[in-house]
Amino acid sequence: MYKKEPLPQEKHTNEELYRRQVETLKLFLSKHAITQAQFDKSYRDLTEKMHRTSSV
């Protein structure tokens, strides 16, 4: 049995991570996996935690 090499860790900026997370929230909302209220709270919390200004 061969040993798998670990994948190299990708480095992302906080900006990239924030945008990806917002896009994920938007996808969940569009697929009705979360409610508008859940989206709003998660978006607000994420924005606050990442020390960002709202952009939606």
Question: What pLDDT digit, counting tens, does each position of 1-56 carry?
Answer: 677 777 677 788 999 999 999 999 999 999 999 999 999 999 999 999 998 776 56
Residue of 46, 45, 43 lying closest to 56 (CA atoms): 43
pLDDT of residue 1: 61
pLDDT of residue 4: 79
Count of structural domains within the chain: 1
- Residue 26 located in a structural domain: yes
Taking CA 22 as the corner, what is the angle to CA 38 and CA 48, rounded to the nearest 5 degrees?
75
Q: In this structure, are residues 29 and 36 in contact, taking their beta carbons and an 8 Å threshold?
A: yes
H/E stretch holding 17 reads helix 14-30
- Residue 35 located in a structural domain: yes
pLDDT of residue 2: 73
CA distances from 29 to 13, 18, 52 (A): 25, 17, 21
Quote the pTM value.
0.73
Q: What range defines the domain where residue 28 resides?
A: 15-49
pLDDT of residue 47: 95
- Residue 56 located in a structural domain: no
pLDDT of residue 9: 76
